[in-house]
Structure 1
Amino acid sequence: MRRLKEYPKPGPENSMYYWRSYVNFFKVAKNFIFISIGRYLPFLGLKRWLYRYGVGMKIGKNVSLGLMMMPDVLFPELIEIGDNTIIGYNATILTHEFRVESFKTGPVKIGRDVLIGANATILAGVEIGDGAMIGAGAVVTKDIPPGVLAVGVPARVVKKIE
Protein backbone atom coordinates (compact mmCIF):
# COMPACT_ATOMS: atom_id res chain seq x y z
CA MET A 1 0.00 0.00 0.00
CA ARG A 2 1.46 3.34 -1.00
CA ARG A 3 1.55 5.99 1.71
CA LEU A 4 0.49 9.18 -0.04
CA LYS A 5 -0.72 12.53 1.22
CA GLU A 6 -3.12 14.25 -1.16
CA TYR A 7 -3.46 17.98 -1.75
CA PRO A 8 -6.34 19.45 -3.76
CA LYS A 9 -5.48 21.77 -6.61
CA PRO A 10 -6.17 25.43 -5.83
CA GLY A 11 -7.74 26.39 -9.18
CA PRO A 12 -9.26 25.13 -12.43
CA GLU A 13 -6.03 24.08 -14.21
CA ASN A 14 -4.34 20.71 -13.70
CA SER A 15 -2.34 20.27 -10.50
CA MET A 16 1.07 20.62 -12.15
CA TYR A 17 0.18 24.14 -13.18
CA TYR A 18 0.28 25.09 -9.47
CA TRP A 19 3.57 23.39 -8.53
CA ARG A 20 4.88 26.58 -6.88
CA SER A 21 2.00 26.59 -4.41
CA TYR A 22 3.12 23.15 -3.16
CA VAL A 23 6.86 23.83 -2.83
CA ASN A 24 9.12 26.88 -2.67
CA PHE A 25 10.63 27.89 -6.03
CA PHE A 26 14.08 28.62 -4.55
CA LYS A 27 14.17 25.25 -2.78
CA VAL A 28 13.46 23.50 -6.08
CA ALA A 29 16.09 25.61 -7.89
CA LYS A 30 18.71 24.72 -5.24
CA ASN A 31 17.72 21.03 -5.36
CA PHE A 32 17.92 21.05 -9.15
CA ILE A 33 21.45 22.47 -9.12
CA PHE A 34 22.76 20.03 -6.47
CA ILE A 35 21.05 17.02 -8.04
CA SER A 36 22.27 17.94 -11.53
CA ILE A 37 25.85 18.10 -10.23
CA GLY A 38 25.42 14.89 -8.24
CA ARG A 39 24.11 12.92 -11.20
CA TYR A 40 27.49 13.22 -12.94
CA LEU A 41 29.81 12.91 -9.93
CA PRO A 42 31.89 9.73 -10.11
CA PHE A 43 32.96 10.08 -6.46
CA LEU A 44 30.48 8.10 -4.34
CA GLY A 45 31.43 9.72 -1.03
CA LEU A 46 31.08 13.22 -2.43
CA LYS A 47 27.77 12.32 -4.07
CA ARG A 48 26.41 10.95 -0.76
CA TRP A 49 27.56 14.11 1.04
CA LEU A 50 25.96 16.37 -1.57
CA TYR A 51 22.63 14.56 -1.41
CA ARG A 52 22.64 14.35 2.41
CA TYR A 53 23.58 17.93 3.20
CA GLY A 54 22.67 19.71 -0.02
CA VAL A 55 19.14 18.39 -0.53
CA GLY A 56 18.32 16.57 2.73
CA MET A 57 18.13 12.92 1.68
CA LYS A 58 18.63 10.35 4.45
CA ILE A 59 21.44 8.14 3.16
CA GLY A 60 23.10 5.32 5.12
CA LYS A 61 26.72 4.20 5.19
CA ASN A 62 28.42 2.77 2.11
CA VAL A 63 25.51 3.57 -0.21
CA SER A 64 26.45 3.58 -3.91
CA LEU A 65 24.41 5.87 -6.14
CA GLY A 66 25.01 5.11 -9.81
CA LEU A 67 25.77 7.60 -12.54
CA MET A 68 22.69 9.58 -13.60
CA MET A 69 20.61 8.30 -10.67
CA MET A 70 17.74 10.80 -10.31
CA PRO A 71 16.21 11.58 -6.91
CA ASP A 72 13.02 13.62 -6.71
CA VAL A 73 13.70 17.33 -7.24
CA LEU A 74 10.69 18.69 -5.34
CA PHE A 75 10.93 16.62 -2.13
CA PRO A 76 14.25 14.73 -1.93
CA GLU A 77 14.09 14.96 1.88
CA LEU A 78 11.37 12.28 1.76
CA ILE A 79 13.90 9.70 0.47
CA GLU A 80 15.58 7.33 2.92
CA ILE A 81 18.21 4.81 1.77
CA GLY A 82 19.64 2.16 4.11
CA ASP A 83 23.25 1.11 4.57
CA ASN A 84 25.17 -0.75 1.86
CA THR A 85 22.52 -0.23 -0.82
CA ILE A 86 23.29 0.09 -4.53
CA ILE A 87 21.11 2.17 -6.83
CA GLY A 88 21.92 1.60 -10.49
CA TYR A 89 22.52 3.78 -13.50
CA ASN A 90 19.70 6.20 -14.36
CA ALA A 91 17.32 4.88 -11.68
CA THR A 92 14.64 7.35 -10.60
CA ILE A 93 13.17 7.81 -7.11
CA LEU A 94 10.00 9.91 -6.97
CA THR A 95 8.33 11.31 -3.85
CA HIS A 96 5.57 13.25 -5.59
CA GLU A 97 3.05 12.80 -8.36
CA PHE A 98 0.87 15.21 -10.21
CA ARG A 99 -2.63 14.11 -11.12
CA VAL A 100 -5.14 16.21 -13.04
CA GLU A 101 -7.29 16.84 -9.97
CA SER A 102 -4.75 16.63 -7.15
CA PHE A 103 -1.12 16.57 -6.08
CA LYS A 104 0.29 13.75 -3.93
CA THR A 105 3.48 13.26 -1.94
CA GLY A 106 4.82 10.21 -0.14
CA PRO A 107 8.06 9.07 1.47
CA VAL A 108 10.22 6.40 -0.12
CA LYS A 109 12.10 4.07 2.22
CA ILE A 110 14.72 1.76 0.76
CA GLY A 111 16.16 -0.77 3.22
CA ARG A 112 19.67 -2.03 3.86
CA ASP A 113 21.60 -4.17 1.35
CA VAL A 114 19.13 -3.45 -1.45
CA LEU A 115 20.06 -3.58 -5.12
CA ILE A 116 18.07 -1.43 -7.53
CA GLY A 117 18.86 -2.10 -11.18
CA ALA A 118 19.56 0.40 -13.93
CA ASN A 119 16.63 2.46 -15.22
CA ALA A 120 14.30 1.32 -12.44
CA THR A 121 11.64 3.76 -11.25
CA ILE A 122 10.49 3.90 -7.62
CA LEU A 123 7.16 5.70 -7.15
CA ALA A 124 6.16 7.86 -4.19
CA GLY A 125 4.98 6.26 -0.97
CA VAL A 126 6.62 2.81 -1.26
CA GLU A 127 8.98 0.82 0.94
CA ILE A 128 11.56 -1.67 -0.28
CA GLY A 129 12.59 -4.18 2.37
CA ASP A 130 16.11 -5.11 3.47
CA GLY A 131 18.01 -7.33 1.06
CA ALA A 132 15.56 -6.96 -1.81
CA MET A 133 16.62 -6.78 -5.44
CA ILE A 134 14.77 -4.71 -8.04
CA GLY A 135 15.40 -5.68 -11.65
CA ALA A 136 16.62 -3.28 -14.31
CA GLY A 137 13.81 -1.24 -15.83
CA ALA A 138 11.27 -2.22 -13.16
CA VAL A 139 8.60 0.22 -12.00
CA VAL A 140 7.95 -0.17 -8.26
CA THR A 141 4.32 0.79 -7.63
CA LYS A 142 3.83 -0.94 -4.26
CA ASP A 143 5.84 -2.12 -1.26
CA ILE A 144 8.43 -4.83 -1.87
CA PRO A 145 9.06 -7.23 1.04
CA PRO A 146 12.55 -8.00 2.36
CA GLY A 147 14.75 -10.58 0.65
CA VAL A 148 12.94 -10.95 -2.67
CA LEU A 149 13.61 -10.33 -6.35
CA ALA A 150 11.04 -8.04 -8.02
CA VAL A 151 11.02 -7.37 -11.77
CA GLY A 152 8.78 -5.96 -14.47
CA VAL A 153 6.31 -3.18 -15.08
CA PRO A 154 4.73 -2.97 -12.61
CA ALA A 155 7.33 -4.74 -10.44
CA ARG A 156 6.19 -8.14 -9.20
CA VAL A 157 7.95 -10.47 -6.80
CA VAL A 158 9.26 -13.46 -8.76
CA LYS A 159 11.27 -15.29 -6.11
CA LYS A 160 12.70 -15.24 -2.62
CA ILE A 161 16.45 -14.65 -2.51
CA GLU A 162 18.34 -17.44 -0.76
Structure 2
Amino acid sequence: MSDDASAGGDANGDAPTTEGAPARYDRLERHPTPEGGNSLRFWTDAKSPLTVARNYAVVWLCRISPSLRLKNRLLEALGVTVGDGVSWGLEATPDVFWPERITLGEDAIVGYDSVLLCHEFLQDEYRLGDVVVGDRAMLGANVTVLPGVHIGDDAQVAANSLVADDVPAGTTVAGVPAEPVDRERE
Protein backbone atom coordinates (compact mmCIF):
# COMPACT_ATOMS: atom_id res chain seq x y z
CA MET A 1 0.00 0.00 0.00
CA SER A 2 0.95 3.62 -0.39
CA ASP A 3 2.55 5.90 2.15
CA ASP A 4 -0.12 8.49 1.31
CA ALA A 5 -1.88 9.34 4.56
CA SER A 6 -5.04 10.74 3.03
CA ALA A 7 -8.32 9.05 3.83
CA GLY A 8 -8.90 8.41 0.15
CA GLY A 9 -5.70 6.52 -0.59
CA ASP A 10 -3.12 7.32 -3.24
CA ALA A 11 -3.37 8.10 -6.94
CA ASN A 12 -3.10 4.39 -7.75
CA GLY A 13 -6.30 3.66 -5.83
CA ASP A 14 -4.46 1.87 -3.03
CA ALA A 15 -6.17 1.72 0.33
CA PRO A 16 -5.14 4.49 2.74
CA THR A 17 -2.68 4.13 5.54
CA THR A 18 -3.69 5.14 9.06
CA GLU A 19 -0.69 7.35 9.83
CA GLY A 20 -1.80 10.98 9.78
CA ALA A 21 -5.28 10.07 8.55
CA PRO A 22 -8.41 11.54 10.11
CA ALA A 23 -9.71 9.64 13.11
CA ARG A 24 -12.52 7.14 12.52
CA TYR A 25 -15.12 9.46 14.04
CA ASP A 26 -14.08 12.28 11.69
CA ARG A 27 -14.56 10.04 8.64
CA LEU A 28 -18.09 8.92 9.54
CA GLU A 29 -21.06 10.29 7.62
CA ARG A 30 -23.83 11.30 10.00
CA HIS A 31 -27.50 11.14 9.00
CA PRO A 32 -30.00 12.58 11.51
CA THR A 33 -33.19 10.63 12.11
CA PRO A 34 -36.12 12.37 10.38
CA GLU A 35 -38.35 12.47 13.46
CA GLY A 36 -35.68 12.15 16.14
CA GLY A 37 -35.35 9.07 18.29
CA ASN A 38 -34.42 5.53 17.34
CA SER A 39 -32.82 5.60 13.89
CA LEU A 40 -33.27 1.85 13.39
CA ARG A 41 -37.02 2.46 13.07
CA PHE A 42 -36.27 4.36 9.85
CA TRP A 43 -33.82 1.92 8.24
CA THR A 44 -36.06 1.61 5.18
CA ASP A 45 -35.49 5.32 4.51
CA ALA A 46 -31.73 4.71 4.54
CA LYS A 47 -31.58 1.70 2.21
CA SER A 48 -34.02 -0.13 -0.03
CA PRO A 49 -35.53 -3.17 1.73
CA LEU A 50 -35.20 -5.15 -1.51
CA THR A 51 -31.48 -4.36 -1.71
CA VAL A 52 -30.97 -5.33 1.93
CA ALA A 53 -32.93 -8.59 1.41
CA ARG A 54 -30.81 -9.46 -1.65
CA ASN A 55 -27.60 -8.60 0.21
CA TYR A 56 -28.68 -10.67 3.21
CA ALA A 57 -29.40 -13.72 1.05
CA VAL A 58 -26.02 -13.49 -0.69
CA VAL A 59 -24.14 -12.88 2.58
CA TRP A 60 -25.94 -15.83 4.19
CA LEU A 61 -24.77 -18.09 1.35
CA CYS A 62 -21.22 -16.75 1.72
CA ARG A 63 -21.26 -17.40 5.47
CA ILE A 64 -21.92 -21.12 5.01
CA SER A 65 -19.94 -21.76 1.84
CA PRO A 66 -16.50 -23.34 2.26
CA SER A 67 -15.46 -22.11 -1.22
CA LEU A 68 -13.28 -19.00 -0.99
CA ARG A 69 -13.59 -18.41 -4.73
CA LEU A 70 -17.40 -18.46 -4.53
CA LYS A 71 -17.43 -16.16 -1.48
CA ASN A 72 -15.13 -13.62 -3.10
CA ARG A 73 -17.06 -13.60 -6.39
CA LEU A 74 -20.44 -13.24 -4.68
CA LEU A 75 -19.19 -10.48 -2.41
CA GLU A 76 -17.61 -8.66 -5.35
CA ALA A 77 -21.04 -8.83 -7.03
CA LEU A 78 -22.43 -6.96 -3.99
CA GLY A 79 -19.75 -4.28 -4.37
CA VAL A 80 -17.15 -5.44 -1.82
CA THR A 81 -13.64 -4.67 -3.09
CA VAL A 82 -11.77 -7.97 -2.68
CA GLY A 83 -8.02 -8.17 -3.27
CA ASP A 84 -6.28 -11.24 -4.68
CA GLY A 85 -5.90 -14.07 -2.19
CA VAL A 86 -8.48 -12.80 0.34
CA SER A 87 -9.76 -15.52 2.68
CA TRP A 88 -13.06 -15.46 4.59
CA GLY A 89 -13.61 -17.85 7.48
CA LEU A 90 -16.94 -19.63 7.81
CA GLU A 91 -19.68 -17.44 9.27
CA ALA A 92 -17.68 -14.24 8.54
CA THR A 93 -20.16 -11.46 7.76
CA PRO A 94 -19.72 -8.26 5.77
CA ASP A 95 -22.21 -5.43 6.29
CA VAL A 96 -25.56 -6.38 4.72
CA PHE A 97 -26.73 -2.78 4.30
CA TRP A 98 -23.63 -1.25 2.67
CA PRO A 99 -21.24 -4.04 1.58
CA GLU A 100 -19.93 -1.76 -1.17
CA ARG A 101 -18.16 0.28 1.53
CA ILE A 102 -15.76 -2.57 2.38
CA THR A 103 -12.28 -2.89 0.88
CA LEU A 104 -10.02 -5.88 1.57
CA GLY A 105 -6.38 -5.78 0.46
CA GLU A 106 -4.45 -8.65 -1.05
CA ASP A 107 -4.08 -11.80 1.06
CA ALA A 108 -6.19 -10.36 3.90
CA ILE A 109 -7.80 -12.88 6.25
CA VAL A 110 -11.20 -12.38 7.89
CA GLY A 111 -11.54 -15.00 10.63
CA TYR A 112 -14.42 -17.27 11.59
CA ASP A 113 -17.60 -15.45 12.67
CA SER A 114 -16.07 -11.97 12.26
CA VAL A 115 -18.25 -8.99 11.32
CA LEU A 116 -17.30 -5.93 9.24
CA LEU A 117 -19.84 -3.14 9.86
CA CYS A 118 -20.17 -0.04 7.69
CA HIS A 119 -23.18 1.36 9.54
CA GLU A 120 -24.36 1.99 13.07
CA PHE A 121 -27.95 2.86 13.92
CA LEU A 122 -28.11 5.06 17.04
CA GLN A 123 -30.57 7.28 18.83
CA ASP A 124 -31.18 10.42 16.74
CA GLU A 125 -28.88 9.44 13.83
CA TYR A 126 -27.26 6.69 11.86
CA ARG A 127 -23.61 6.72 10.78
CA LEU A 128 -21.83 5.30 7.76
CA GLY A 129 -18.13 4.70 7.22
CA ASP A 130 -15.88 2.76 4.87
CA VAL A 131 -14.04 -0.23 6.32
CA VAL A 132 -10.58 -0.81 4.86
CA VAL A 133 -8.51 -3.91 5.66
CA GLY A 134 -4.95 -3.71 4.35
CA ASP A 135 -2.78 -6.17 2.48
CA ARG A 136 -1.90 -9.27 4.52
CA ALA A 137 -3.90 -7.99 7.51
CA MET A 138 -5.38 -10.73 9.67
CA LEU A 139 -8.58 -10.63 11.71
CA GLY A 140 -8.94 -13.51 14.15
CA ALA A 141 -12.16 -15.34 14.95
CA ASN A 142 -15.17 -13.38 16.23
CA VAL A 143 -13.71 -9.92 15.55
CA THR A 144 -16.10 -6.99 15.13
CA VAL A 145 -14.91 -4.01 13.07
CA LEU A 146 -16.92 -0.79 13.44
CA PRO A 147 -17.75 1.65 10.62
CA GLY A 148 -14.96 3.89 9.37
CA VAL A 149 -12.12 1.74 10.71
CA HIS A 150 -8.96 1.36 8.64
CA ILE A 151 -6.71 -1.62 9.43
CA GLY A 152 -3.21 -1.24 8.01
CA ASP A 153 -1.05 -3.64 6.01
CA ASP A 154 0.30 -6.61 8.00
CA ALA A 155 -1.78 -5.68 11.06
CA GLN A 156 -3.18 -8.43 13.27
CA VAL A 157 -6.39 -8.35 15.30
CA ALA A 158 -6.69 -11.00 18.01
CA ALA A 159 -9.78 -13.19 18.31
CA ASN A 160 -12.81 -11.77 20.14
CA SER A 161 -11.70 -8.16 19.68
CA LEU A 162 -13.81 -5.06 19.00
CA VAL A 163 -12.00 -2.72 16.60
CA ALA A 164 -13.33 0.78 17.30
CA ASP A 165 -10.26 2.74 16.11
CA ASP A 166 -7.78 2.49 13.26
CA VAL A 167 -5.02 -0.12 13.49
CA PRO A 168 -1.65 1.07 12.13
CA ALA A 169 0.28 -1.10 9.69
CA GLY A 170 2.22 -3.93 11.34
CA THR A 171 0.48 -3.50 14.69
CA THR A 172 -1.13 -6.29 16.74
CA VAL A 173 -4.23 -5.35 18.73
CA ALA A 174 -6.46 -7.28 21.13
CA GLY A 175 -9.37 -6.71 23.47
CA VAL A 176 -12.62 -4.80 23.83
CA PRO A 177 -11.93 -2.21 22.65
CA ALA A 178 -8.87 -3.44 20.76
CA GLU A 179 -5.61 -1.90 21.99
CA PRO A 180 -2.01 -2.48 20.84
CA VAL A 181 -0.35 -5.53 22.34
CA ASP A 182 3.14 -5.14 23.79
CA ARG A 183 5.03 -7.81 21.81
CA GLU A 184 8.18 -7.24 23.92
CA ARG A 185 6.65 -9.02 26.94
CA GLU A 186 5.94 -12.25 25.07
Q: Shorter chain as normaliser: what TM range? A: over 0.9
Deviation of the 1:13 alpha carbon: 4.0
1:12 CA displacement: 4.0
Task: Give the C-alpha shift of residue 31 in structure 1.
Answer: 0.1
Separation in structure 2 between the aligned mates of residue 149 and residue 12 of structure 1, nearest angstrom: 39
* Deviation at residue 129 of structure 1 after TM alignment: 0.3
Any gaps of 5 or more consecutive residues in structure 1? none
CA contact (8 A) 1:89 1:118 kept: yes
Q: Percent identity?
A: 38
2:150 paired residue among 124, 127, 146: 127
* Number of aligned positions between the proteins: 160
Greater per-residue strand proportion: 1
Deviating beyond 2 angstroms after TM superposition, the runs of 4 or more aligned structure 1 residues are none
Instruction: Say whether residues 1:32 and 2:48 are aligned partners.
Output: no
Cα distance in 2 for residues equivalent to 1:11 and 1:36:
32
Q: Which residue of 1 aligns with 2:135?
A: 112
Residue 72 of structure 1 is matched in structure 2 by 95
Secondary structure of the residue that 1:80 maps to in structure 2?
strand
Paired residue for 1:82? 105
Query: Does the aligned pair in 2 maintain the 1:148–1:160 contact within 8 Å?
Result: no
Query: 2:181 aligns to what SS in structure 1?
Result: strand
The aligned residue for residue 102 of structure 1 is 125
Aligned match of 2:67 = 43
Structure 2's unaligned 5+ residue stretches are: 1-22
What SS does the aligned partner of 2:73 have?
A: helix
TM-score, structure 1 as length reference: 0.96
Pairwise CA RMSD of aligned residues?
1.2
How high is the TM-score relative to the length of structure 2? 0.84
Deviation readout 1:101-149 (Å, 9 max, x if unpaired): 1010000000000110000000000100000000000000000000011
Q: Deviations over 1:74-125 (max 9, x none)?
A: 0000000000011110000000001111010000000000110000000000
Q: Give 1:144's aligned amino acid.
A: V
Mapped to 2, the partners of 1:111 and 1:81 lie a distance apart of: 6
Output the CA distance in 1 between the equivalents of 2:122 and 2:42. 11
